[in-house]
Structure 1
Amino acid sequence: MELKEIQELLKLVNRTNLTEVEIEKKEFKIKIRRKSPESNVIYTTQQAPALAAAPVAAAPAAPAAPAPEAKAEAKKSAPAPKADSEPDTSNLVEFKSPMIGTFYRSPNPESPSYVNVGDRISKGQVVCIVEAMKLFNEIESEVEGKIVKIMVDNAQPVEYDQVLFLVDPNG
C-alpha cells in the first residue's frame, strides 16, 4: 500500500462516520478504528505498536468578572485599553491536524519550513508534515489565505483536530 493510499484512507475515515476499516495484503495489514464517530481515530498496524495520545493541558480558568460598580469605577479612573494589545481573531480560520502524530514544519532538519508567519497559502499547498507510526504525512491546506500564527512548535506531538495554524482568509 502506497503512502498516498494510506493518507486518502485516513482522510476518508476522518470525513465520514466510519468506525472501523481494515485492509490486509500479503505483507501489510492496517486497521483504523475509532470508538465512536465523534471520538479520535486510533491507528494500528501489525508491525508497530499503537501510538499513545499525549495528554492535553487544561486551559487556564478565566478570571471572575468584576461587579458592575467596580466596572463603572474602573472606567472613570483608568484610560481605555488600546485595541493594538489584542488583535481581532474573529475572522481567522483554524487549520487543524487531521491526525494524531508528531508535527514537523519542514521535510527534514536542513530544509526551510514549508510555511512561516506572513506567508500566503493556497488550497492543495503542503504546509507541514505529521508523522504517524513512522509514516510522514504531508498535510495540504484546504483554505487560502495568510498564515497569522503557528500554534505548534516543531517536532511536538499533536492530537487529532488540534489547531496547527491560524489563517487569515482575507490576507
Structure 2
Amino acid sequence: MKAKEIQELIDFISNSGLAEVKIETDEFKLSIKKHAEAPAAKAVENHYTPIPAAAPNPEPATQKEAVSESNEHANRSLLEVKSPMIGTFYRSANPDADFFVNIGDTIQKGQTVCIIEAMKLFNEVESEISGKVVKVLVEDASPVEYDQPLFLIEPQD
C-alpha cells in the first residue's frame, strides 16, 4: 500500500465509528486503533472506583466548612463516577432543562447522571449503581479528561 492509500484508510476508519482495525497480508501488517471513545449509539460504561472518604480535596469558602464536610463524609464509603471519555461535561440535556442529578438525590442503576459531548456526539452516562449523590466534582459545561472523577456516590446497602 502507498502512503496516500493508508491515509485514506485511516480517514475512512476514523469516520466509520470502528474502534480498531487490523489488516494483515503477506507484504505488510497494519493495525489502527482509536482512543477509548465509545460510539454515541451505545450507552457509555462508567468507571466507579472506591475511594476513602477523606480523598476528595474540597475547596470550601472557610476552614469551618471544610471541617464539617470532612466529618460528614468520614464514616462513608464513597464511589467515584469517572468520565469514560474526553469531552465536555453537561449536567442537563439543554441549558433550560433541570440537572439530571443534584447533590442529595438518590439515583438508581441505569439512570442518566450526565452527558459527555465528544466530537459533536452527545453520550449519555448512566449509573451502574444505586446510591446517593454526595458531591458533584465538575462544573457544568466544563472540559473533562478520560477517567476524571465527576461525582461522589454513597452506595445503597
> Normalising TM by the smaller chain, what interval?
0.5 to 0.7
How has the CA–CA distance of structure 1 residues 117 and 130 changed in structure 2, closer, same or farther, with 3 Å as cutoff? same
Equivalent residues of 1:41, 1:160 under 8 A apart: no
Q: Tell me, what secondary structure is at the counterpart of 1:41?
A: coil
| Larger RCO, structures 1/2 (Cα 8 Å, 6+ apart) | 2
Aligned residues: 105
How has the CA–CA distance of structure 1 residues 160 and 89 changed in structure 2, closer, same or farther, with 3 Å as cutoff? farther
Letter of the structure 2 residue corresponding to residue 41 of structure 1: H
Unaligned runs of 5+ in 2: 1-9, 21-33, 38-66
Letter of the structure 2 residue corresponding to residue 166 of structure 1: L
% identity of equivalent residues? 52
Deviation (angstroms), 1:85: 5.3
Superposed, 1:1-171 pairs within 5 Å as 28-32=15-19, 41=35, 84=68, 86=70, 87-88=73-74, 91-170=77-156
Q: Deviations over 1:92-114 (max 9, x none)?
A: 00011111100000000000000
How has the CA–CA distance of structure 1 residues 140 and 85 changed in structure 2, closer, same or farther, with 3 Å as cutoff? closer
How has the CA–CA distance of structure 1 residues 167 and 89 changed in structure 2, closer, same or farther, with 3 Å as cutoff? farther
Q: Tell me, what secondary structure is at the counterpart of 2:19?
A: strand
Letter of the structure 1 residue corresponding to residue 131 of structure 2: G
Distance in 1 (alpha carbons) for counterparts of 2:75 and 2:85 = 25
Distance in 2 (alpha carbons) for counterparts of 1:147 and 1:31 = 34
Unaligned runs of 5+ in 1: 1-21, 34-39, 44-82
Q: Tell me, what secondary structure is at the counterpart of 2:68?
A: helix
Deviation (angstroms), 1:41: 2.7
Q: Tell me, what secondary structure is at the counterpart of 1:84?
A: helix
TM-score, normalization by structure 2: 0.58
How has the CA–CA distance of structure 1 residues 90 and 120 changed in structure 2, closer, same or farther, with 3 Å as cutoff? closer
Q: Deviations over 1:27-68 (max 9, x none)?
A: x523536xxxxxx9355xxxxxxxxxxxxxxxxxxxxxxxxx
Q: Pairwise CA RMSD of aligned residues?
A: 3.2
Distance in 2 (alpha carbons) for counterparts of 1:121 and 1:115 = 8
How has the CA–CA distance of structure 1 residues 142 and 29 changed in structure 2, closer, same or farther, with 3 Å as cutoff? same
